[in-house]
Amino acid sequence: MTELNRFSATAIVDAITSGDCSAEDVTRACLARIDEREFEVGAFEYLDPAYAIEQAKVLDDGPVRGPLHGVPVAIKDIMDTFDMPTGWGFDPYGDRTTERDASAVALCRQAGAVILGKTVTSEFAAFHPRKTRNPHNIDHTPGVSSMGAAAGAADFMFPVGFGTQTGGSIIRPAACCGVIGYKPTFDDLPLDGVMVLGQMLDTLGFLTRDLEDCALMRGALLGDSPDIASRDTDSPPRVALIRTRYWDQAEPIVHAVMESTVETLTEAGVRIEEPDMPEGFDELGAAHGTIMPVGSAQARAYEYQQYRDEMSDVFREHVEEGQATDYADFERAVELSRKCRAALDPLFDRYDVFLTPSAPGEALAGTFPTGEAMFNRFWTLLHVPLVHLPVSMGPQGLPVGVQLVGRHGADRNLLSDAQWILERLN
């Protein structure tokens, strides 16, 4: 049998329920990989191997509990866990316990998951990175802020990890590390017990190696179908190519991957067009840059008052930018985002999915800066669902992929279209 730590979550459930292996077997395989690679990759903020095995044994001793039975799931360290510290990537909170689970964590336990441990996040899930490195080359960034989840999934430490996105913190780490990243529609998954960075932007999602696992996790949390609906082979999705105003800032490898993707899909029968975007669309990046600091200043007001000297310079300046923002400017940015959301819907009457870059290039060398979310933040502001698909490797031997954008609330359709497209790209 293939090493169990390389199994997708979907395959793990099938193997356990069919009796081919146990939850303990899977958990031990993941822990063995972590033991082998954690000292280089640094995906975990907290890990108790004995406790993970204990959870798996309890599952093995009872009936199948739910759709995630025996799946090791990694929890981003801004999500409350009653039995593990939740530090928010901030040293003064490193040993903080909440004595409760975030709703998403509680639902995973209810569905039979093994809560493997807490993955590294950047300080307050923002800009200042911590110890995690890119598993493809540890001299390069894995992106932020869902860095531990992306790196751990890419390095076969676990099949799926939680991420959150306020700017680009699911899609860009997925792009850096070469895994699937899924940011659902805003407000789709429960945020109770998840640290707030930007109340108008924060979205909970997943990083995994298999697109089917996104549907499995979504189904477990929402009671939706755990399967991706198959799209008719003879009915390809209608695709809009959206280069955005940032196209010229992307590296040549991004242009090449986008062009090869368009060529492959065209050969598969997809009609791809480049529509004009709604008025004001080019200003959405700036609008996000106004809204996010205000949200962070509000959400982290206590930490700024009590711990500003312990904050990184970059986060302290981010909060102070929000504090200094004129409310009229904030209102204009919010109103622009509302108008553009409304104007986007007619485009989705013509197209099923948008094809656009995920990141400006391969993962940067070093630990900071971690790169730009220019191709993500305005989609986050528009509250639409996103999927990153890994496609190729760049000249530095690091992953490059594409981003798919779906209609607000049409996550199941997006996953179906993404599966159809991924099969052709592979």
DSSP lists the bridge partners of residue 354 as 240, 405
Distances from the Cα of 378 to the Cαs of 166, 240, 282, 316, 424, in angstroms? 10, 17, 9, 23, 28
Distances from the Cα of 220 to the Cαs of 52, 69, 104, 188, 418, in angstroms? 20, 10, 9, 13, 20
Catalytic residue among 22, 76, 122, 416: 76
Distances from the Cα of 260 to the Cαs of 134, 267, 354, in angstroms? 25, 11, 16
Quote the DSSP letter at residue 21: S
Question: Cα Rg for the chain, rounded, in angstroms?
Answer: 20
Residue identified by tokens 């991957």 is 257
Q: Decide: residue 124, CB within 10 A, 0-12 exposed, 13-18 middle, 19+ buried.
A: buried
Dist. CA 24–CA 176, nearest whole Å: 31
Catalytic residue among 22, 145, 296, 337: 145
Work out the number of other CB atoms within 10 angstroms of the CB of residue 310. Answer: 13
| Catalytic status, residue 169 | yes
Query: Per-residue b/e over 49-68, b at no fewer than 16 CB within 10 Å?
Result: beebbebbeebeeeeebebb
Q: How many CA atoms lie within 13 A of 196 on its CB side?
A: 16
| Catalytic status, residue 416 | no
Catalytic residue among 22, 122, 146, 169: 169
Tell me the two tokens of residue 316.
């302290």
Dist. CA 411–CA 416, nearest whole Å: 9
Work out the number of other CB atoms within 10 angstroms of the CB of residue 297. Answer: 18
CB under 8 Å to 102, separation ≥6 — which residues?
79, 80, 81, 190, 192, 193, 194
Tell me the two tokens of residue 121.
């996040």
Q: Please, what is the end-to-end C-alpha distance for the chain in angstroms?
A: 24
| Catalytic status, residue 145 | yes
In the chain, helix, strand, coil percent, each to 5? 45, 15, 40
Dist. CA 20–CA 9, nearest whole Å: 15
Catalytic residues: 76, 145, 169
